[in-house]
C-alpha cells in the first residue's frame, strides 16, 4: 500500500516498483489523501484549457483514473481537501478545513479503515520532512505512521474493522543527489543540455535522505513514464522528468530507492525487495494478525530515530 498526498505523487514516487510487484502477482493499493484541489497547472500547454478553468477537481480525478489504469493498482481517495503550498514571508495561514489542519485522530481513523480492509504487508509513504516541506506531505507522513501503529491494535478504532498490523514501512527516496548526478552524466556524455545542475542547486539545503533498499524496477520505467504523462495538468511533457528516455534512465539508475522506517522483521544491509524477510504470504498474514500485534521497531542494522 502506497500512501500519497495528491494525485500525481504516486506516479513520480515508486510507480515502477508498484508495476513490478503487480507483474509478480501481488496486489497493490494506492491511497490518495487529498483531491489536489489547490494544485497549480504545471503543463504550459494546458494553461488555457477550458476544462482547467471550469472544473480542475474533476479533471484531476480523471487524470488519476487514467494513471491508475496504466499501472493497474487499486485506489482509494481518502477524501480530505488539499491544503495548498503557502508562499510568502511571512507565510499565510493554511485554509480552514484543509487536510493539514484536520485532527490527527480523524485522519488516522480514515486510513486505519483502508489498511484493515486491504490488509497490506508493506506500506510506503514520505519521511518526516514530507520528502519536501509541503504541509500535505508532512501530514501524510504523520497520518501514515499513526495509522500503521493503530491498525494492529484491537483497542484502537474498534469500529473501523478487524485489526491488521502492516509489517514494514518505507519512505520513498525518489530523487537522491547520486541519482540526479548519474542522470546529468548521461546527458553530458551524449553532448546534450542537462537540467540537473539547477535541480541539484535547488535541493542543496535539503537533508539527503538515507537509502537502505534498492528495488530494480528498470523493466517498468516505461510504465512510470506513461503514468506520469497521464497527469497531464501536473506534468510538463517537455520538462525535466523526461530529459532522459525510460531506457536511458534504466542505464543510468535502474533502481527505485527506499528507506526502511519501521519493521517487524530484521532487515538485511543489502536489501533489494520490499517484501524481504516476511516469508510466505501465509507466514506474513500470521504475523499481521497475531495477538498481541507484531511489534514495529527499527532493526538494529538500520538504526534511525522513530517518528
Extract the annotated binding site: 6, 9, 137
Instruction: Please enumerate, by residue number, every residue annotated as part of a binding site for Zn(2+).
Output: 6, 9, 137
| DSSP of 134-183 | -HHHHHHHHHHHHHHHHHT-TTSSGGG-S-----EEEEE--S-HHHHHHH
Q: Say how far apart CA 2 and CA 15 lie, in whole Å.
A: 9
Tell me which DSSP letter residue 81 carries.
P
If we measure between CA atoms, which residue out of 129, 33, 152, 19 comes closest to residue 83? Answer: 33
Task: Quote the crossing angle between the two packed helices 15-23 and 221-230, to the nearest 10°.
Answer: 120
Q: Say how far apart CA 304 and CA 108 lie, in whole Å.
A: 23
CA distances from 114 to 77, 90, 215 (A): 10, 37, 25
Amino acid at each position: 500500500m502506497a500512501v500519497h498526498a495528491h494525485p500525481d505523487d504516486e506516479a513520480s514516487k515508486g510507480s515502477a516498483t508498484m508495476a513490478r510487484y503487480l507483474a509478480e502477482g501481488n496486489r497493490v493499493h494506492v491511497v490518495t489523501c487529498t483531491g489536489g484541489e489547490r494544485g497549480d497547472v504545471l503543463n504550459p500547454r494546458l494553461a488555457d484549457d477550458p476544462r482547467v478553468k471550469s472544473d480542475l477537481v474533476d479533471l484531476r480525478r480523471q487524470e488519476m483514473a487514467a494513471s491508475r489504469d496504466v499501472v493497474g493498482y487499486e485506489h482509494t481517495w481518502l477524501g480530505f481537501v488539499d491544503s495548498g503550498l503557502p508562499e510568502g514571508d511571512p507565510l499565510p495561514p493554511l485554509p480552514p478545513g484543509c487536510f493539514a489542519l484536520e485532527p490527527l485522530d480523524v485522519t488516522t481513523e480514515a486510513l486505519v479503515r483502508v489498511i484493515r480492509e486491504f490488509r497490506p504487508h508493506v506500506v510506503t509513504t514520505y519521511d518526516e520532512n514530507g520528502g519536501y516541506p509541503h504541509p500535505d506531505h508532512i501530514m501524510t507522513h504523520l497520518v501514515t505512521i499513526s495509522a500503521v501503529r493503530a491498525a494492529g491494535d484491537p483497542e484502537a478504532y474498534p469500529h473501523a474493522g478487524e485489526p491488521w498490523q502492516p509489517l514494514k514501512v518505507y519512505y520513498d527516496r525518489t530523487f537522491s543527489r547520486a541519482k540526479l548526478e548519474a542522470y546529468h552524466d548521461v546527458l553530458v556524455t551524449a553532448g546534450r543540455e542537462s537540467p540537473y545542475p539547477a535541480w541539484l542547486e535547488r535541493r542543496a539545503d535539503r537533508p539527503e535522505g538515507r537509502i537502505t533498499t534498492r528495488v530494480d524496477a528498470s523493466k517498468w520505467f516505461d510504465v512510470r513514464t506513461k503514468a506520469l504523462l497521464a497527469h497531464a495538468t501536473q506534468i510538463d511533457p517537455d520538462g525535466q522528468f523526461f530529459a532522459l528516455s525510460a531506457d536511458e534512465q534504466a542505464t543510468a539508475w535502474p533502481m527505485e530507492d527506499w528507506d526502511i522506517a519501521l519493521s517487524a522483521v530484521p532487515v538485511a544491509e543489502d536489501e533489494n525487495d520490499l517484501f524481504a524477510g516476511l516469508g510466505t504470504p501465509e507466514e506474513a498474514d500470521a504475523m499481521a494478525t497475531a495477538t498481541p500485534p507484531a511489534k514495529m521497531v527499527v532493526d538494529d542494522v538500520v538504526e534511525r530515530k522513530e517518528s
